[in-house]
């Protein structure tokens, strides 16, 4: 077939067979786009932090050294950072999956709680002494199911009735958290506390079992589950047909519909998947740390997942890195509490979010154009 518009100046078509596999420069550009805003955000936050610290009459050098020593500077602190990173990775991935489908899941908070609750209930019911090779899959399914149901309901409401997921997930946060509070307080609590009794079958090993330095920190093997879920999420989004369709719905629902995609069905599946990922995050506390479900065990981690997803640009790799950053800041707040108020760290967190939001490529392009 000869092309009718062929001219002598037509550049020869590329003949590589592997055109989708990005070459070095393209991969670097993609990485830059995913990571650079986060770095910019951190730099801006550090500068703002200087002024804040000075305003409290402290030396920035001292405070940052304390912050570093309390987090990455010793094994215990680093263990705590890893523990917090784990939960934030799950909630960040959950929000990111929703956003990729064009859905804003504000409900990671209650999905996380529901996942942890389900794992604890199943754990209480399992007879002690079972090998963890057998119980782990059961826990995974339970946690994913708990979060998946809480996430799937707003998805179905949107697909069937057009109810906006922001409204329904916010309302479900209240309903689910209140319901769990009621169940625990009325039926499952150990007297004098707001948590269930301990799971006798035992939980998942802490990292301190393998590396002594982590002793006392809550870091546990669920972090490897988090990393595996991040990898699986990336594979699903960018390598599978359903991922292709999910992202298509998120970018242009009308074009996806034209492409034979059932938009409503993608909506509810994406919300259920998002909820399931958040639900898995409950394992970190329930199986990896305390071995029981405690009311409001992860307050804030679900909402912080929104910031993690945005700072991580909805990319699994970015989400993991962003989770690490937010976990560090949050743990660092405890370390510097003696010299400056802990709230300063909350301010820094907010600065990171604002700086990253302002350094996304679209905005950068506008700034560059204006500068010329």
* Residues forming the site for other proteins (CB under 8 A): 1, 3-22, 26, 239-242, 244-245, 247-248, 251-252, 254-260, 262, 369-370, 372
| In the complex, minimum distance from the CB of residue 29 to other proteins, in angstroms, rounded to a whole number | 9
Contact, 113 vs 176, CB < 8 A?
Answer: yes
Which CB sits closer to other proteins, 88 or 266? 266
Which CB sits closer to other proteins, 11 or 212? 11
Structure tokens at 86: 């784990």
| In the complex, minimum distance from the CB of residue 140 to other proteins, in angstroms, rounded to a whole number | 19
Which CB sits closer to other proteins, 187 or 372? 372
27 vs 36: CA distance, rounded Å: 14
| In the complex, minimum distance from the CB of residue 241 to other proteins, in angstroms, rounded to a whole number | 4
Cα pseudo-dihedral 65, 66, 67, 69, rounded to 10: 80
| In the complex, minimum distance from the CB of residue 13 to other proteins, in angstroms, rounded to a whole number | 4
Strand partners, 257: none
Which among 330, 248, 294, 255 has a CA at the least distance from the CA of 116? 294
Which among 58, 93, 140, 11 has a CA at the least distance from the CA of 310? 93
SS3 state at 206: strand
Which among 89, 99, 81, 88 has a CA at the least distance from the CA of 310? 99
| In the complex, minimum distance from the CB of residue 34 to other proteins, in angstroms, rounded to a whole number | 15
| In the complex, minimum distance from the CB of residue 238 to other proteins, in angstroms, rounded to a whole number | 9
Residues 6+ apart with CB under 8 A from 254: none
Any idea what the Cα angle at residue 362 is, between residues 359 and 367, rounded to 5°?
70
| In the complex, minimum distance from the CB of residue 11 to other proteins, in angstroms, rounded to a whole number | 6
Residue 13: C-alpha distances to residues 3, 16, 78, 208 (Å): 12, 9, 51, 56
152 vs 168: CA distance, rounded Å: 11
Which CB sits closer to other proteins, 14 or 127? 14
């Amino acid at each position: 077939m000869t092309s009718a518009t062929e001219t002598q100046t037509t550049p020869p078509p590329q003949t590589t067979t592997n055109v989708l596999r990005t070459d070095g420069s393209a991969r670097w550009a993609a990485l830059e786009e995913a990571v650079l805003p986060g770095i910019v955000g951190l730099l801006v936050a550090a500068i703002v932090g200087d002024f804040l610290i000075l305003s409290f009459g402290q030396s920035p050098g001292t405070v940052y050294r304390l912050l570093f020593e309390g987090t990455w500077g010793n094994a215990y602190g680093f263990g705590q950072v890893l523990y917090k990173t784990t939960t934030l990775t799950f909630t960040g991935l959950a929000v990111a999956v929703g956003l990729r489908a064009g859905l804003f899941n504000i409900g990671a908070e209650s999905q996380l709680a529901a996942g942890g609750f389900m794992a604890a209930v199943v754990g209480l019911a399992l007879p002690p002494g079972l090998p963890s090779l057998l119980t782990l899959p059961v826990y995974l399914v339970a946690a994913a199911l708990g979060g998946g149901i809480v996430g799937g309901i707003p998805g179905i409401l949107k697909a069937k009735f057009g109810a906006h997921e922001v409204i329904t997930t916010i309302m479900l946060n209240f309903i689910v958290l209140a319901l769990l509070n009621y169940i625990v307080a009325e039926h499952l609590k150990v007297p004098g506390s707001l948590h269930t009794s301990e799971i006798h079958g035992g939980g998942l090993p802490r990292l301190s079992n393998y590396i002594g330095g982590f002793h006392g920190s809550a870091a546990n093997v669920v972090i490897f589950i988090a990393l595996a879920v991040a990898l699986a999420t990336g594979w699903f989004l960018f390598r599978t047909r359903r991922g292709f369709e999910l992202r298509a719905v998120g970018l242009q629902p009308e074009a996806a519909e034209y492409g034979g995609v059932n938009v409503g069905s993608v909506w509810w599946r994406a919300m259920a998947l998002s909820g399931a990922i958040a639900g898995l995050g409950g394992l970190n506390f329930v199986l990896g740390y305390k071995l029981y479900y405690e009311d409001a065990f992860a307050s804030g981690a679900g909402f912080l997942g929104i910031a993690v997803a945005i700072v991580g640009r909805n990319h699994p790799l970015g989400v993991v890195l962003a989770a690490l950053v937010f976990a560090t800041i949050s743990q660092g707040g405890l370390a510097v509490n003696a010299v400056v108020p802990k709230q300063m760290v909350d301010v820094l967190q907010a600065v990171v979010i604002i700086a990253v939001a302002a350094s996304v490529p679209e905005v950068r392009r506008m700034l560059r154009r204006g500068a010329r």
